[in-house]
Structure 1
Amino acid sequence: MDFFFVEYRDPLVGLIFLTILIFVVAVANYVWKFYANKDAEQKLESFIKKFELNHTHKELLRAQSLSLNNLIFLAEIFTKSGEFEKATQIYLIALEKTADKDKREKIFLSLAKVYFKAGFLEKSREVLLNALKIRPRNKEALKLLKIVYLKLKFYKENLELLECLFELGEDISKENEFIKALKIESENLSQEQKQQSFLSLDFKDNAMLERYLFEKYEIFKKQEFSNLVDLLYKSLKPLNLDDEEYYEFFYALSLVDKKEGFQFKNSHLKMLKILKDNGFKARLDFSYLCLECKNLMPLFFYHCPVCYEFNRCKILFEVKNDEEN
């Protein structure tokens, strides 16, 4: 055992052993990196082959004359024009052309978005997981994966993913309760059991959860009128008439009698009432604005389909001609 205690031996011998040890560690590290990179390249090659389609112009796109930036620009053009198959092939070729992890991460994310838009959710999920292997703290990838999980009804995985976003400083408390509600709805329970479990959730200041409760069970918990107006228009059942907004809405639809001294505050509802009272066919037309990205949608959303944010939907309505009906 004394052999290992170099302080009792010639200092030159100790220096030689130290040099040999450093050399061995350096060689081992080099060999490990070599095989790790080789393994990563093989996995990437396997990934590309799995998603790759036969393409007549594939070799042309692989030419050295086309830079990575050119390929990405071309892929973006095809994505915007809706030619998703061509866009995915170009992104796969772009992955072959770069070994830079940051660039690969961005390409993976762009490829996942194309698959998502095209409706290939499983492919989008797999690509996003590859992006997150490079940088697990990629918020954009995590948020898109959250929407993919929602569409695939992977609620357990979604709740775990929200914990990751919480660690990154995101406020996920309200969204967490909403996902729990979706999970309850997907379980093999009776309607009564589902309703009981649903009502046990935390509804405090959670407008989207309250809307979902009304949408599923028509249970009214003094929800804000602005969050339910389109659902109220479909149901045509007067309720909460003590509230001025609710009363004004149902009066405009001629579902309740006029109160003494009542005056309209909403110009759209006033116009609707005047048109209906004068024999014109009119209806309310709804649109939905994302307060985060400012995109206008034709259908209500709990999560914005463009920026993937939760609880950013504002319901807009206007009076439209209904003569065709």
Structure 2
Amino acid sequence: MDLFFLDYRDPLVGLIFITILIFIIALLNYFWRFFAYKDEEEKLEKFIKKFELNNVHKDLLKDPNLSLANLIFLASIFTRSGEFEKAIQIYLIALEKVKDKKEQEDIFISLAEVYFKAGFLERSKEVLLNALKIRPRNEKALKLLKIVYLRLRSYKEVLDTLECLLELDEEVKEEKEFIKALMIKEQDIDQKSKIELILNLDIKDNIMLQRLIFENYQIIKDQNLFDIIDLIYRDKKIVKIDKQEYKEFFYALNLLPKEEKIFLKNQNFRMFKILNDNDFKVKIVFSYVCLECKNAMPLFFYHCPICYGFNKCKILYEVKLDETN
């Protein structure tokens, strides 16, 4: 019986078998990659056709002599000028041309940003999910997806996205508490229960959450005046907080009893008080700057609309003559 298996113990025979096995595995891997790549191409083609717009210049833009860099540059110009439909069409054509995964990923993100700016949130979400299929740890895509979910009021998905950003060593603890407060605010329960649940969150040192609570429920915590000064100026009501900076501001606005005199250390408050007391029509004008990307906005933002950063809004203010009166 041992003689019958003698040949199979020959090292050369074993080597042949191993070679054949490697060849079969390589062949199967080749076919798997071929069909997987073909499937990806078909999915990409379906995606492009799904959002494709009719355009008389489409054939011109598809010209092989027109490079990918030129297409992206052209799309960025249309995006900046607000011609979003043209930018979308160009990015879709660029997707047809490109084969490299990294380039596809970059185009997906640019396309998602255009859809986001144009207000097509569902489309922006779908495009971003395609980008994340290529590279799940894409920080830029995750940050924009977070904002898209936020605009769609899909707060659970926002929290899931924040968990992904946490894995990338992003500091999201305060933002998670803020999103939880928004979730509670949307619940179909009475106001008292909402306030109780929100106040049980980790509020300490969370500037944005404290502002949200004051803005919606007029409950003030131990926050800095200059984090909510625009809200107090808008309402022109005294809030109960024993801090000198608040007293100075209320005094400048003539909200304190007339017999009470306070020395104003803040130059803007002092100027406002003097001009107002001398019958000049004055007002305090506010502007908002992102500490991350340095862009200025006319309205306050919890999340920067440009770089999508949380708690990056610095409130600037100055006294101006009120020319409307």
**Alpha-carbon displacement from aligned partner over 1:62-94 (angstroms, at most 9, x marks no partner):** 001100001001111111111110001000000
The amino acid of 1:255's aligned partner reads L
The amino acid of 1:290's aligned partner reads C
> 1:10-25 to 2 correspondence within 5 Å?
10-25=10-25
> 1:116-135 to 2 correspondence within 5 Å?
116-135=116-135
SS at match of 2:286: strand
Shift of the alpha carbon at 1:240? 4.2
CA distance in 1: counterparts of 2:208 and 2:32, whole angstroms: 50
Shift of the alpha carbon at 1:321? 2.1
Q: Which residue in the other structure is 1:314 paired with?
A: 314
Shift of the alpha carbon at 1:10? 2.5
Shift of the alpha carbon at 1:236? 1.4
In the alignment, structure 1 residue 272 sits paired with structure 2 residue 272 = yes
Q: Which residue in the other structure is 2:66 paired with?
A: 66
The amino acid of 1:207's aligned partner reads I
Divergent runs of 4+, >3 A: 5-8, 257-262
Shift of the alpha carbon at 1:8? 5.0
Shift of the alpha carbon at 1:97? 0.6
> 1:252-291 to 2 correspondence within 5 Å?
252-257=252-257, 262-291=262-291
SS at match of 1:232: helix
Contact kept? 2:288, 2:314, Cα under 8 Å: yes
Contact kept? 1:6, 1:14, Cα under 8 Å: no
Contact kept? 1:53, 1:89, Cα under 8 Å: yes
CA distance in 2: counterparts of 1:210 and 1:46, whole angstroms: 46
The amino acid of 1:228's aligned partner reads I
CA distance in 2: counterparts of 1:193 and 1:93, whole angstroms: 52
Shift of the alpha carbon at 1:272? 1.2
CA distance in 1: counterparts of 2:139 and 2:324, whole angstroms: 47
Shift of the alpha carbon at 1:323? 3.7
Call closer, same or farther: CA 1:241–1:209 in 2, change over 3 Å.
closer
CA distance in 1: counterparts of 2:313 and 2:259, whole angstroms: 32
Contact kept? 1:288, 1:315, Cα under 8 Å: yes
Q: Which residue in the other structure is 1:34 paired with?
A: 34
SS at match of 1:289: strand
Shift of the alpha carbon at 1:12? 2.5
Q: Which residue in the other structure is 2:301 paired with?
A: 301
CA RMSD of aligned residues (A): 1.7
In the alignment, structure 1 residue 183 sits paired with structure 2 residue 183 = yes
Q: Which residue in the other structure is 2:94 paired with?
A: 94
What TM-score results when the alignment is normalised by the length of structure 2?
0.95
**Ranges in structure 1 where 5+ consecutive residues have no aligned partner:** none
The amino acid of 1:65's aligned partner reads N
> 1:204-219 to 2 correspondence within 5 Å?
204-219=204-219
Contact kept? 1:295, 1:306, Cα under 8 Å: yes
SS at match of 2:221: coil
Contact kept? 2:8, 2:14, Cα under 8 Å: no
SS at match of 2:46: helix
CA distance in 2: counterparts of 1:241 and 1:187, whole angstroms: 29
Shift of the alpha carbon at 1:157? 0.5
Call closer, same or farther: CA 1:7–1:220 in 2, change over 3 Å.
farther
**Ranges in structure 2 where 5+ consecutive residues have no aligned partner:** none
Deviates further, 15-24 or 103-112 = 15-24
Contact kept? 1:289, 1:315, Cα under 8 Å: yes
Q: Which residue in the other structure is 2:150 paired with?
A: 150
In the alignment, structure 1 residue 239 sits paired with structure 2 residue 236 = no
Shift of the alpha carbon at 1:137? 0.5
The amino acid of 1:324's aligned partner reads T
What TM-score results when the alignment is normalised by the length of structure 1?
0.95
**Alpha-carbon displacement from aligned partner over 1:111-160 (angstroms, at most 9, x marks no partner):** 01111111111111100101111111110110011010100000001101
CA distance in 2: counterparts of 1:271 and 1:86, whole angstroms: 50
